[in-house]
Structure 1
Amino acid sequence: AVEGHVEDQQENALQAMYRYDRDQGIDYGSLKLDVAFLKPFYVGYEKRYDFAENEQLEDVFGIEYRQQCWSALLTFRENDTDRTVMLAFTMSGIGSVGGISGNLGGI
């Protein structure tokens, strides 16, 4: 696996990952972009792709609201068979303390 990550002082980040394993038939990559949109709001997008099957695996879009000791993250995840929305809350030093998710079915 090969992975690269760059981040600036404003907390904007770009991450790329590629994994190849001929024996297991894995040829996979992902690209993720995180943008400090209007602090305290942060926006992220990730695309995952399977080069072996020549198909898109998943798109993930999220918006996060961050405060000093807590944050809330709303995520929309879509793949071939499923669309999911999830709301998660995180307390600094504790981790994720709960969340709500739902399947959007055929929307």
Structure 2
Amino acid sequence: MSDREKSRIVEAIPSRNEGVSALASAAAPFVYFDLVSAWVFRDGVVKITLEADRQMMTPTGPGQDFAVVAHLRMGLEASRQLLHALQDVEKHVAELIRLRDEAAMPGAPLPQIVN
């Protein structure tokens, strides 16, 4: 845990300067998605559309459709931070897969990684 994270205090209401708002964070959504269907950079803002597939039965058998689950909006610096975080996850997962395969345990579940 970084020094910045250790020094962050979850608020006592009202909010504290530089704190994390417990009240505002309580309703933050968890977003699962299967694909990035569109992105654009316009007027200094990165805009990304996320979709998830949905399974269903149709008169002719199993089918699927897609639903937009989120519209992400962020500044360029935030997009760089998101990219860095995803690249870091990818690097750590690749190493875990390599170690698992070297141990002749392909298909075994990967351990949790915590930043």
TM-score, normalising length: structure 1: 0.31
Structure (1 or 2) with the greater strand fraction: 1
| Greater Rg by CA | 2
Structure (1 or 2) with the greater helix fraction: 2
